[in-house]
Amino acid sequence: MTTQAAQTGRAGRTLFIGGEWCDADAGERIDVRSPSTGETFAAVARGGKVEVERAVAAARRALAGEWSKLAGFERGRIMTRLSDSILAHIDELAELEAQDTGKPLTQARTDIRATARYFEFYAGATDKILGDVLPFLDGYQVTVQREPRGVVGLIIPWNYPASMFGRTVGPALATGNTVVLKPAEDASLSCVRLTALAAEAGLPAGVLNLVTGLGEEAGAALSQHPDVDFLSFTGSPEVGTLIQTAAARNHVPCVLELGGKSPQIVFEDADFERAAQTIVGVITQNAGQTCSAGSRVLIQRSVYERFSRLLAERMSAIRVGAPHADLQCGPVINATQAEKVKGFLSRARETGIGVLAEGSLHESAVQGGYFVVPTLFGPVPTTHELAQDEVFGPVLAAIPFEDEAEAIAIANGTAYGLVAGLWTENGARQMRVAKKLRVGQVFINNYGAGGGIELPFGGVKRSGHGREKGLEALKEYTVAKTIVLRHD
């Protein structure tokens, strides 16, 4: 990692408020550790309540200023310039993202392309946010217009910081809002650099404000702020509860994406090769630290042994190493996460759950890094924590089922409901099962659909509520206003 890449803000500053780079008032900073080595390689400002106050005030001023006067297509042109700039800086941003999160360079580059695509997609939507004309009484004209919510607070996680920047900031800006962004303290650096590129693309001062800091300080202050009009949060259900409670006190709406325990359902007529390759790839991508990772594979009992062997072969071939080795799997984000995942592995073994396969450590997986060996367990009882709880690591639980009814019951039998994968060539079964799964997305004979910037994303139950991505996100960042005109 170069000094230039680590020093992402002006003079190493990582707070961007009202168009200016600055330090925290108290001068405090948070060390950033490399997941690959455990060593400190950078630092970010420890912003808190004071900095959030300033950022919200700057966003409020910008909302009433130049930004409110721009036509939709003018906002779109700024966002298009940002998209182009992101692609022009892809090598720098990918290196930054890989160093910060530990993910392989190829995965990091994919994330940066997705970030650019978010701004490209939403740039094209800025002048196409349509209202309605409603039929009403004779002599009246009724229109429904969609207006920006105002100042929006975005609290994003550490697993995909760059693409989450695009996923939240993109629709917020497209709809005319102003933003205060709080990235995770474990992985803020790509967001700092992206904020700098946004300013260079011509975003007016105060439209996008960035406050780095701890979740319990800066994140809490943002979620509790009475002058924030809308909140978006991605993270754990426990913190999501705190966010929603804080929002409720100010009567502020929010979108929450709170994780999942997503099932991959494999029937006896599935394309086994494609399914196995995809299922293992998904659970080891980003070291399993993906909210939609298919961490349960439900296999029809008639083919359980055959398909689980194929999964085992695929899992055994996975190698874990540092980002520069560019393997299939990198380290988890920090020591706490590594300890948590390894705890799941230890308890599963202690309770007698069979290990069907394990990946291996590459020579680049040095001591001190937060490396976890990908593991396939099976058969796993449906009540076991591996089948119920979000591990957020490269751990896959194989569970046999008898028929459609049992598969649906097992798939729906957790507190989560985010995504499901369905593997079968039977067209009637595809729709039958898909309709009965209590999730926000169902992928049939594929999973993830290449990032799916265009696809509405979100869950039910403990996975949260509201929708991100696609045109559906524009509804979340706007509010409907009904105007009734009497003209007779």
The residues assigned a catalytic role are 257
Note whether 6 and 41 are within 8 A (CB): yes
- Rounded CA-CA distance 117/121 in Å is 6
Note whether 59 and 51 are within 8 A (CB): no
In the chain, what is the straight-line distance between the N-terminal and C-terminal CA atoms, in Å? 70
Q: Are strands 15-17 and 20-22 parallel, antiparallel or unpaired?
A: antiparallel
- Rounded CA-CA distance 312/305 in Å is 10
Please name the amino acid found at residue 266: V
- Rounded CA-CA distance 375/283 in Å is 10
Q: Are strands 360-361 and 319-320 parallel, antiparallel or unpaired?
A: parallel
Number of other CB atoms surrounding residue 484 within 10 Å: 11
Note whether 264 and 274 are within 8 A (CB): no
Angle between helices 90-101 and 189-200 (to 10 degrees): 160
Residue among 93, 275, 104 at smallest CA distance from 195:
93
Note whether 437 and 459 are within 8 A (CB): no
- Rounded CA-CA distance 236/272 in Å is 33
- Rounded CA-CA distance 417/441 in Å is 9
Cα distances (angstroms) measured from residue 238 to each of 245, 258, 463: 11, 9, 11
What the block records as the tokens of 149 is 């919510």
- Rounded CA-CA distance 442/229 in Å is 32
- Rounded CA-CA distance 439/460 in Å is 6
**CA 290, 291, 292, 294 torsion: positive or negative?**
positive
Count of H-run helices and E-run strands, the chain: 17, 24
- Rounded CA-CA distance 124/339 in Å is 44
Angle between helices 90-101 and 161-174 (to 10 degrees): 120
